[in-house]
């Protein structure tokens, strides 16, 4: 009875909250942001109302037993932080956590203003930072962050790639939180119609994916994949799957002569030209391709599962496995990441020892916490021990009875890390433009030269 109840909660949570949580708290990818514009707008109104009510929301707590935290999304990040407070209070009854709802855009603006204006005392004790913006912020404003390397937190208990987002010059500045591990989801009934099973798409290469996609398209009339034509998310997922980046170790653009990137773009071009990948114009159109049975599958951060599950009539018709790997690319794997965020302790924290112990005992040390927040929020952990818990082993009826939560946690542990640096978003935008032009008939090498020149120009400003 307990297992059935947990399973029902898990399915409901994934449908109601995971997109709002993992997506909205992701690493700044535009698909995630577009999907949550309405909720972010409301969150912004709530946060502004808090700010208008007084200045108490600004700055770290003055109480030595209270930590002030900035994060967004009441159903996901805020809920998780409040539950973490309860876990810590069990052994520290005098402890309190003061969570101030603050949309990510506002956190970024407040951080930038505080650091550039010499007003670090306006920062909270702890704040949530999008993973793809973490390195940029620490490199740009090192004085705003606390080095957690010697905090006693065991960072080896998280996926290596997830932890790497908040590592700068070998030092740890963040405690990993939500999971953005990439999953490949397929309509198993459509695959069966084409003569395939989910196993035929597990541990495969992109070349195999392309050939099988042609068969699926021919026999069912449905593409395997859909993507927003103006975004580079699939490109970036492919690139990270082999541990490659748009930048070198010194943060300089490394697009020209980047054989991994060129292979990625060639593969993407083939997917589109053969019809195996269907291009759409907006996030809403992308989600509709999944819920209206327009395509036979998708590849994205695990938070996409909530959008898929919004089509309740498709329960039991979906399966989940890992993504394809690139052929002929050194370091190629079947694993990547798209989205996620991590907790940072600011330099304005008045009780760093308390903040470190709190994070060490909860997000970096409590399986109980992750078991508590998963059913009602869909908050999948990157804390690896949670993947061995009974809750994470619960089967999902929607995904054919598979223990998808345990599987995704395992995927997170295998994802290669990549270098984001300061100009990650500028690089993404430049590649998004480049791939649109390539699909339109332009030469890949020429487009990579233009993309690199564009980013170099922005870096010189």
| 214-226 pLDDT, tens digit each | 999 999 999 999 9
- The per-residue pLDDT for range 228-266, each reduced to its tens digit, is 999 999 999 999 999 999 999 888 999 999 999 999 999
Is the predicted pLDDT of residue 28 greater than 50, yes or no?
A: no
Report the pLDDT value the prediction gives residue 57, as an integer from 0 to 100.
Answer: 52
Identify the weakest region by mean pLDDT among 20-24, 100-104, 305-309. Answer: 20-24
| Partner residues linked to 279 by β-bridges | 227
Reference 287, options 230, 224, 226; nearest CA is: 226
- CA 307 to chain CA centroid, Å, is 15
> Among residues of the chain, what percentage have pLDDT more than 90?
77
Indicate whether this model's pTM tops 0.75.
Answer: yes
How much is the mean pLDDT over the chain? 88
Contact (Cβ atoms closer than 8 angstroms) between residue 26 and residue 303 = yes
Report the pLDDT value the prediction gives residue 337, as an integer from 0 to 100.
Answer: 94
- The per-residue pLDDT for range 412-461, each reduced to its tens digit, is 999 998 888 889 999 999 999 999 999 999 999 999 999 999 999 999 88
Is the predicted pLDDT of residue 53 greater than 90, yes or no?
A: no
- The per-residue pLDDT for range 75-100, each reduced to its tens digit, is 889 999 999 999 999 999 999 999 99
Identify the weakest region by mean pLDDT among 44-48, 180-184, 372-376. Answer: 44-48
CATH number of 2-179+340-403: 3.40.190.10
Report the pLDDT value the prediction gives residue 64, as an integer from 0 to 100.
Answer: 87
Q: How confident is the model at residue 377 (pLDDT cuts 50, 70, 90)?
A: confident
Is the predicted pLDDT of residue 36 greater than 60, yes or no?
A: no
Is the predicted pLDDT of residue 109 greater than 80, yes or no?
A: yes
- The per-residue pLDDT for range 114-130, each reduced to its tens digit, is 999 999 999 999 999 99
- CA 103 to chain CA centroid, Å, is 16
Is the predicted pLDDT of residue 339 greater than 70, yes or no?
A: yes
C-alpha span between 83 and 87 (Å, rounded): 6
Mean pLDDT to the nearest integer, 192-200 = 98
Every domain of the chain and the residues it spans: 2-179+340-403, 182-336+423-460
Mean pLDDT to the nearest integer, 405-411 = 93
Q: How confident is the model at residue 61 (pLDDT cuts 50, 70, 90)?
A: confident
Is the predicted pLDDT of residue 39 greater than 50, yes or no?
A: no
Domains 2-179+340-403 and 182-336+423-460 in one fold: yes
| Fold assignment, 182-336+423-460 | D-Maltodextrin-Binding Protein; domain 2 (3.40.190)
Mean pLDDT to the nearest integer, 129-144 = 95
- The per-residue pLDDT for range 264-323, each reduced to its tens digit, is 999 999 999 999 999 999 999 999 999 999 999 999 999 899 889 889 999 999 999 999
Contact (Cβ atoms closer than 8 angstroms) between residue 163 and residue 321 = no
Mean pLDDT to the nearest integer, 153-164 = 94
3-state SS string for the chain: CHHHHHHHHHHHHHHHHHHHHHHCCCCCCHHHHHHCHHHHHHHHHHHHHHHHHCHHHCCCCCCCCEEEEEECCHHHHHHHHHHHHHHHHCCCCCCEEEEEECCHHHHHHHHHHHHHCCCHHHCCCEEEEEHHHHHHHHHHCHHHECCCCCCCCCHHHECHHHHHCCEECCEECCEECECCEEEEEEEHHHHHHCCCCHHHHCCCEHHHHHHHHHHHHHHHCCCCEEEECCCCHHHHHHHHHCCCCCECCCCCECCCCCHHHHHHHHHHHHHHHCCCEEEECCHHHHHHHHHCCCCCEEEEEHHHHHHHHCCHHHCCCEEEECCCECCCCCCCCCCCECCCEEEEEECCCCCHHHHHHHHHHCCCCCHHHHHHHHHHHCCCECEHHHHHCCCCCCCECCCCCECHHHHHHHHHHHCCCCCCCCCHHHHHHHHHHHHHHHHCCCCHHHHHHHHHHHHHHHHHC
Mean pLDDT to the nearest integer, 345-369 = 97
């Amino acid at each position: 009875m307990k297992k059935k109840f947990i399973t029902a909660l898990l399915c409901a949570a994934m449908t109601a909250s995971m997109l709002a949580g993992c997506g909205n708290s992701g690493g700044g990818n535009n698909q995630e942001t577009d999907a949550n514009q309405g909720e972010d707008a409301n969150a912004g109104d709530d946060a502004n109302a808090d700010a208008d009510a007084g200045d108490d929301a600004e700055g770290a707590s003055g109480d030595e037993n209270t930590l002030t935290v900035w994060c967004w999304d009441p159903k996901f990040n805020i809920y998780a932080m409040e539950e973490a407070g309860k876990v810590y209070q069990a052994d520290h009854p005098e402890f309190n956590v003061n969570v101030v709802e603050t949309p990510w855009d506002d956190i970024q603006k407040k951080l930038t203003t505080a650091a550039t204006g010499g007003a670090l005392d306006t920062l909270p004790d702890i704040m949530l930072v999008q993973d793809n913006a973490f390195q940029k912020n620490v490199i740009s404003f090192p004085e705003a962050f606390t080095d957690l390397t010697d905090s006693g937190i065991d960072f080896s208990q998280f996926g290596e790639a997830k932890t790497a987002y908040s590592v700068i010059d070998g030092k740890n500045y963040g405690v990993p939180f939500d999971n953005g591990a990439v999953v490949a989801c397929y309509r198993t009934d459509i695959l069966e119609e084409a003569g395939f099973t989910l196993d035929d798409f597990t541990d495969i290469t992109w070349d195999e994916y392309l050939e099988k996609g042609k068969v699926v398209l021919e026999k069912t009339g449905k593409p395997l994949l859909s993507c927003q034509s103006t975004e580079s998310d699939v490109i970036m997922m492919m690139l990270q799957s082999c541990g490659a980046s748009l930048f070198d170790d010194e943060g300089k653009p490394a697009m020209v002569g980047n054989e991994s990137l060129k292979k990625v773009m060639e593969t993407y071009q083939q997917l589109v030209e053969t019809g195996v990948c269907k291009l759409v114009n907006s996030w809403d159109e992308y989600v509709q391709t999944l819920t209206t049975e327009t395509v036979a599958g998708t590849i994205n951060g695990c938070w996409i599962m909530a959008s898929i599950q919004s089509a309740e009539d498709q329960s039991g018709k979906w399966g989940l496995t890992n993504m394809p790997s690139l052929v002929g690319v050194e370091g190629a794997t079947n694993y990547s990441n798209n989205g996620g965020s991590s907790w940072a302790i600011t330099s304005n924290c008045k009780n760093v020892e308390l903040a470190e112990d709190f994070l060490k005992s909860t997000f970096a040390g409590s399986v109980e916490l992750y078991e508590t927040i998963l059913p009602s929020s869909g908050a999948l952990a990157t804390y690896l021990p949670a993947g061995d818990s009974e809750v994470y082993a619960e089967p999902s009826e929607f995904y054919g009875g598979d223990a998808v939560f345990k599987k995704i946690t395992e995927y997170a542990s295998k994802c290669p890390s990549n270098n984001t640096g300061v100009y990650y978003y500028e690089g993404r935008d430049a590649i998004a433009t480049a791939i649109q032009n390539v699909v339109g008939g332009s030469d890949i090498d020429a487009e990579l030269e233009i993309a690199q020149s564009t980013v170099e120009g922005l870096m010189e400003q």
